[in-house]
Structure 1
Amino acid sequence: MPRSLAHPAPSPIGAAPGPALPIPASAVPTWLAAIDEWMAQPRTARAVILWLSVYLAVAANWPLWLELARIGGAPSVYMRSIGAMSLLLVAGTVALLSLTAWSRWFKPLWFAVVLLAAVVQHYMLAYRIVMDPSMLANAAQTDPNEVRDLLSGRMLLNVLLVALLPAWWLWRVRIVRARLWTHAWRNLALFAVAVAVAAGGGMAMNRELAPLMRNNVHLRYMLNPLATVYSAGAVALRPLFKHSRKLIPMTGGAALGASYAGQARPPLFVIVVGETARSDHFALNGYARDTNPELSKREVLSYRNVHSCGTNTLASVPCMFSPIGKVAFEARKDDYENLLDVMQAAGLAVFWIENQSGCKDVCNRVPHAAAVDSLPPAVKAALCDGDECLDDALLNGLDARLAALSPERRAKGVVLVMHQMGSHGPAYYKRSSPEVKEFKPECQTNALAECGHAELLNGYDNSIRYTDRFLARTIDWLKSQSKDYDTAMLYQSDHGESLGEYGLFLHGVPYSFAPEVQKHIPLVAWFSDGMRQREKLSNHCLQGDLDKPYTHDNLYHTALGVMDVKSPSYKPALDMFAACRNGGAA
């Protein structure tokens, strides 16, 4: 009679087998019984991690294999690349897991690695991301609302497809016991062999791999789960291996300029930090769809050639407020006081209002609040899903927030920074209210692969229309303050977004090889008549600069110029409006 599942039932992963009632052989198909019998055979911990490494290479690295096929073109080319990368991947995974090949109590850890690989593969397939350290650091700062937007039934299915088989095996397999010393020297030997195979294979196939990796840097971050473990380790350990950052002062010499002497009205400047907006999806910049019906009526300046500092919020937001620019910011060894510190040191009232996952330390030393705070229950019910709100929450109660600022500082001038939720993906449909949803049908899920490209664009473009209305309402609020203040607004997104171009979705691709759409951002400025007169700005000059190249590096110096704040750190050449002051005489 063939063997059946009549032997003892499995125990939880990591526990000793326990007795169970026998299952009649007739109740279990023969092939299933044979598989279960094979899985239940005793094996050494090293044999288990060898099998797991091969399984993960095959089942959890489809993004890598598909990318190699895309790059290689012909099968005769990409099959060699896949073979070479397979050897390195399996050897590297064996080397990593050999550190854990001790006893059955490591089964939960082995399953956790499988689960991690399954989840990472889902997101790499769904959104074409890579797991580099910046992506992991950005993910670590994601709030619960954003995490919820990334969960879906498709994710559960994809994870189960990868994780169910090894879960069954790890449940059934019996780990052969051995002395601690025996485990130690055998694990060390396996580690050495795996490293030798990886090193020898890399050298033998250097002619194949060197140009491939040099020209396609992102491939190294697609090795699953090695890339994720490396990136997570880099993010977690980085603070332990770097010197304690000093805060370099930049506020020395900050003072208000001559325009404040005997001013009729103080200036009120709103800086809107957008989220995930693409320049080429603004109708103001030539997009065929009418995504800017409100701003087009409000005499705004829309700059068409602006690029971000980074491709994710964590990189871009601190960089855009920094006085030192992108290159120095990325190479810095210490932190620097930022634009808001300088404005506050000059005597202005500064306030940051947050509707995202945090100000990334930019607002640490100035007054700040979350948009959801103090919202009336009826308003919160209309605008928010839990603590995740539409951007109109930033405008609610703004008069009261303004009135609550220091009267002494407010009498000199005010800088308000509003950090949008904007077009944050993948749940673009959540970023707009029903009355602005012009483009239908829109993608109604965060599993973008389930939607057609047209539906995806509809959802994203509706979020841009909502930002358009939000900015228009911000301008209208500023106009309502014109009796008491000279007002202006400057909006720019933190980065762009991929919407399927080159098979990529979302953002966060390393800047050096990120597509243009993740870096090309909108920038919109508006000045009241009072602010134009105060600044002596030439409208003809401003209109002539709309196609000039600008970056996030310009914000610091442009904002100091708008508010006439004198600082040794101010560089007129980086002030977007400097050449148009005094009638364009400069």
Structure 2
Amino acid sequence: MFTLKNNFKILPFILIISCLNFLFFHIPFFNFVFENINYKSLSGFFVITSLVVLMILLNAFVFFLLLFLSQRIGKFILVLFFLFNSIAFYFVSTYGIIIDESMIGNVLNTNYEESSSYFSLKLVLYLIFLGVLPSYLIVKSKIESVSLKQFSILSSLTLLSALFLVFVNASNWLWIDKNSKKLGGLAMPWSYVVNTSLFYIHQHKKNEKEILLPDAKIKDNEKAIVVLIIGESARRQNFSLYGYSKNTNPLLSKTQNLFHFDANSSATYTTAGVKSILDHKETNDLYEILPNYLYRNDVEVIWRTTNWGEPPVHVKNYQNKKYLQANCKEDYCGYDEVLLNGLKEQVLASKKNKILIVLHTSTSHGPSYYKKYPVQFEHFTPVCKSVELSNCSKVELINAYDNSIVYTDYILYKTIESLKQLNSYKSTMLFVSDHGESLGENNLYMHGIPMSIAPKEQYEIPFIVWVSDASKMKVKKMDNLSQYHVFHSVLHFLNIESPIYKEDMNIFEYK
């Protein structure tokens, strides 16, 4: 009988480890394959069988190579694979995510507060049984070394077998290529290993210093304020302004001079979504974003945030959650309403005529939607109070999310009421979400699915605008908007002349 005190021959050992890796972490991978191929047909059966064998063989080859080069380093890397695999598998199976490059960016830009909200007993159990226990086996096993000749023969046979399977599946390459993004995002550990490498390669290629835009000119001395509120995970279909059956906008629905547009986000995760709202055009380059551009051109810019993931913001008045809460003594200080605390006074203290205020909220970020609003905004019950969203009923999950929209409605309304009191300024409020949110549709939760395959729930967003009577502005009749309309609309409202301004991307016009 085998005990950890026995020596393992290297070939049986790597086959066992590769098979464990396959059995433990690839249920979502093959669920996708079975859902998208006719597995009852001969060709479908052959594809599935080939994928199983290929996955085991290729992983075994990599594991073999690592252990041959150095058993100590090889074991260490294998332990990391199983630990990270167990965590990745939890999120893939629990929230239906795909681990592509954009998801890696989302993960790497997550702070402690957000990451801790995902903690659950289920995650601990996954980590222990699928990560720690196999890692113990790997560390304690004694593995016999092989000669270079044996390694070369075994490696060559493995690669030749893999190449043979690839060759005989030539007729199925089109299907595999078509679904490569999802297949690659579900294959452990290569989903996060490859995409983490790609993320850092692309980050390195980006401009280290932002590209400055052409200088702008303020054309008049009229006092004007724009409040840009960046929503978090706010999906359009749950706003009653857009026809949702539940009254999630009891205050905005009664507000005069309010307009709403259909809009689509350019991404399904925060960092890219926020960048798009602040950029002058669709680009992967690091151009000067709206607040930096206006601040450099003598506009008063106030940035307040309870969130994270924005591009570098270079303004004097940058106030994060910690700063805002330290200067707040009200009951609402633990929620997004803290963004409005003392804001009117800060505006009145400004010596400049043109003001841009950016409020970056976190109101509808999951999975703990019920923690994002004060108890008096719990209009819909019962609510989901589990971070494992699939454990909640559909009604509970949607109720918790809808309550966060009711709270968003209140924050927007309160912002508008504050602007009305600043009657010496012409003013407007724009609310645009960074992306949408999945709430169990097609067994998907939250956001982050690649845009090429993302469901509409993750990119259909609200674009809500209010203008003051004093502004003498009206909003154009426009169809579907993008996040890039924000930049040019703000320039127009503040009457700022710029070579990069595009009139067709502006939503305002004079009455």
State if a TM-score over 0.5 links the two structures.
yes
Deviation string 1:124-150 (CA, Å, 9 cap, x unpaired) is 011110111110111001000000011
The 5-angstrom pairing of residues 228-239 of structure 1 reads: 228-239=192-203
* 1:508 Cα offset (Å): 0.8
Report the counterpart of residue 295 of structure 1 in structure 2: 252
Q: Normalising by the residue count of structure 2, what TM-score does the alignment of the two structures yield?
A: 0.92
Q: Does 1:54 align with 2:22?
A: no
CA distance 1:495–1:366, change in 2 (3 Å) = farther
CA distance 1:42–1:438, change in 2 (3 Å) = same
CA distance 1:314–1:200, change in 2 (3 Å) = farther
- Equivalent-residue separation in structure 2 for 1:187 and 1:400 (angstroms): 73
- Equivalent-residue separation in structure 2 for 1:345 and 1:378 (angstroms): 29
Letter in 1 for 2:301: V
- Equivalent-residue separation in structure 1 for 2:359 and 2:102 (angstroms): 24
Contact (CA 8 Å) 2:234, 2:436: kept in 1 or not? yes
* 1:293 Cα offset (Å): 0.7
Report the counterpart of residue 308 of structure 2 in structure 1: 357
Deviation string 1:524-580 (CA, Å, 9 cap, x unpaired) is 11111111x2x3x3xxx64x44xx111112111111111111100001011122xxx
Q: Does 1:371 align with 2:334?
A: no
Q: Percent identity?
A: 26
Letter in 2 for 1:563: L
Report the counterpart of residue 95 of structure 1 in structure 2: 61
* 1:187 Cα offset (Å): 5.0
Contact (CA 8 Å) 1:306, 1:523: kept in 2 or not? yes
Greater Cα offset, 188-197 or 278-287:
188-197
CA distance 1:497–1:478, change in 2 (3 Å) = same
Contact (CA 8 Å) 1:313, 1:495: kept in 2 or not? yes
Report the counterpart of residue 563 of structure 1 in structure 2: 494
Q: Which one of the candidate residues 335, 338, 341 is aligned to 1:396?
A: 341
Q: Which one of the candidate residues 429, 438, 448 is aligned to 2:389?
A: 448
Q: Which one of the candidate residues 202, 215, 218 is aligned to 1:256?
A: 218
Letter in 2 for 1:204: V
Contact (CA 8 Å) 1:557, 1:570: kept in 2 or not? yes
Q: Which one of the candidate residues 186, 204, 210 is aligned to 1:222?
A: 186
Letter in 2 for 1:122: Y
Letter in 1 for 2:131: A
* 1:38 Cα offset (Å): 4.7
- Equivalent-residue separation in structure 2 for 1:228 and 1:559 (angstroms): 39
- Equivalent-residue separation in structure 2 for 1:196 and 1:497 (angstroms): 45
Report the counterpart of residue 89 of structure 2 in structure 1: 121
- Equivalent-residue separation in structure 2 for 1:73 and 1:366 (angstroms): 59
Report the counterpart of residue 26 of structure 1 in structure 2: none
- Equivalent-residue separation in structure 1 for 2:231 and 2:144 (angstroms): 57
Letter in 2 for 1:457: I
Letter in 1 for 2:339: L
Report the counterpart of residue 496 of structure 1 in structure 2: 436
Q: Does 1:515 align with 2:455?
A: yes
Where relative contact order (Cα < 8 A, 6+ residues apart) is larger, the structure is 2
CA distance 1:446–1:256, change in 2 (3 Å) = same
- Equivalent-residue separation in structure 2 for 1:46 and 1:403 (angstroms): 74
* 1:39 Cα offset (Å): 4.7
Q: Does 1:84 align with 2:50?
A: yes
Q: Normalising by the residue count of structure 1, what TM-score does the alignment of the two structures yield?
A: 0.81
Three-state SS of the structure 2 residue aligned to 1:558 is: helix
Contact (CA 8 Å) 2:324, 2:338: kept in 1 or not? no
Letter in 2 for 1:368: Y
Greater Cα offset, 207-216 or 420-429:
207-216
Three-state SS of the structure 2 residue aligned to 1:372 is: helix
Three-state SS of the structure 2 residue aligned to 1:458 is: helix
* 1:46 Cα offset (Å): 5.0
Contact (CA 8 Å) 2:428, 2:467: kept in 1 or not? yes
Letter in 2 for 1:390: Y
Contact (CA 8 Å) 1:71, 1:78: kept in 2 or not? no
Letter in 2 for 1:444: K
Deviation string 1:210-250 (CA, Å, 9 cap, x unpaired) is 3243156312211111111111222234445x375453221
Unmatched 5+ stretches in structure 1: 1-33
Contact (CA 8 Å) 2:266, 2:273: kept in 1 or not? yes
Deviation string 1:333-360 (CA, Å, 9 cap, x unpaired) is xx21122233223321012111102423
Letter in 2 for 1:458: N
- Equivalent-residue separation in structure 2 for 1:185 and 1:464 (angstroms): 65
CA distance 1:87–1:209, change in 2 (3 Å) = farther
Unmatched 5+ stretches in structure 2: none
CA distance 1:404–1:229, change in 2 (3 Å) = farther
Report the counterpart of residue 228 of structure 2 in structure 1: 271
- Equivalent-residue separation in structure 2 for 1:554 and 1:159 (angstroms): 44
Q: Which one of the candidate residues 11, 25, 28 is aligned to 1:63?
A: 28
- Equivalent-residue separation in structure 2 for 1:122 and 1:525 (angstroms): 39
Report the counterpart of residue 290 of structure 2 in structure 1: 339
* 1:209 Cα offset (Å): 4.1
- Equivalent-residue separation in structure 2 for 1:40 and 1:48 (angstroms): 14
CA distance 1:239–1:48, change in 2 (3 Å) = farther
| Bigger CA radius of gyration | 1
Letter in 2 for 1:462: N
* 1:364 Cα offset (Å): 3.0
The 5-angstrom pairing of residues 68-217 of structure 1 reads: 68-72=33-37, 74-76=39-41, 79-101=45-67, 102-104=70-72, 106-163=74-131, 165-177=133-145, 182=147, 190-215=154-179, 217=181
* 1:519 Cα offset (Å): 0.8
- Equivalent-residue separation in structure 1 for 2:106 and 2:86 (angstroms): 20
CA distance 1:337–1:191, change in 2 (3 Å) = farther
Report the counterpart of residue 8 of structure 1 in structure 2: none
CA distance 1:314–1:115, change in 2 (3 Å) = same
* 1:487 Cα offset (Å): 1.6
Letter in 2 for 1:371: K
Report the counterpart of residue 478 of structure 1 in structure 2: 419
- Equivalent-residue separation in structure 2 for 1:336 and 1:376 (angstroms): 33
- Equivalent-residue separation in structure 1 for 2:267 and 2:456 (angstroms): 12
* 1:429 Cα offset (Å): 1.1
* 1:196 Cα offset (Å): 3.7
Contact (CA 8 Å) 1:84, 1:209: kept in 2 or not? no
* 1:188 Cα offset (Å): 5.7
Q: Does 1:41 align with 2:6?
A: yes
Greater Cα offset, 73-82 or 120-129:
73-82
Letter in 1 for 2:287: Y
Three-state SS of the structure 1 residue aligned to 2:329 is: helix
Report the counterpart of residue 572 of structure 1 in structure 2: 503
Deviation string 1:33-77 (CA, Å, 9 cap, x unpaired) is x4xx35543124454333211211111111111111222255447
Report the counterpart of residue 23 of structure 1 in structure 2: none
- For the aligned residue pairs, the C-alpha RMSD in angstroms reads 2.4
Deviation string 1:335-390 (CA, Å, 9 cap, x unpaired) is 211222332233210121111024232x235531103315357737x446xxxx42
Three-state SS of the structure 2 residue aligned to 1:373 is: helix
- Equivalent-residue separation in structure 2 for 1:402 and 1:378 (angstroms): 17
